[in-house]
Structure 1
Amino acid sequence: MEKQAATQFPTLESVTRPTVETASAAHYLNRRPQTLRGWACHEDGPLRPVRINGRLAWPVADLRRLLGVA
């Protein structure tokens, strides 16, 4: 299973897009996607997503800052 996750999600350092979808953000934070959706709904988590056409997008810069990745 570890190998499958590695192929599905690139390392956070190699992500070049400004945002990632909920499943990717959950993978990097080691949380379930539903936890991140709860943070977005209640606005009580350590990160705030942006909404793009009604979908959640999590800023990569905020993820890196939270995880301490340069």
Structure 2
Amino acid sequence: MPKEFVFFTYLLESYAQSRHMSAAAVLSALDARGRTEFVYDMYEMYHSEDIENAFRDIDNLIATGEPAW
């Protein structure tokens, strides 16, 4: 299994738990904005930073479709 997929799954599940959502709901929200692949492709940045930075990006991606930076 690719390391990117393993991390993506971990990230979605961790984010969902922190926001009291299901991982399926998070995935659906990202899909609705067309940003799922963006999050997956951010492996290099997200796995090397504090996870709260990734969470902020996901918050913004779900709300606006744009990353927080």
Q: TM-score, normalised by structure 2?
A: 0.41
Q: RCO greater where, 1 or 2, for CA within 8 Å and sep 6 or more?
A: 1
Structure (1/2) with the larger helix percentage: 2
Q: TM-score, normalised by structure 1?
A: 0.40
Structure (1/2) with the larger strand percentage: 1
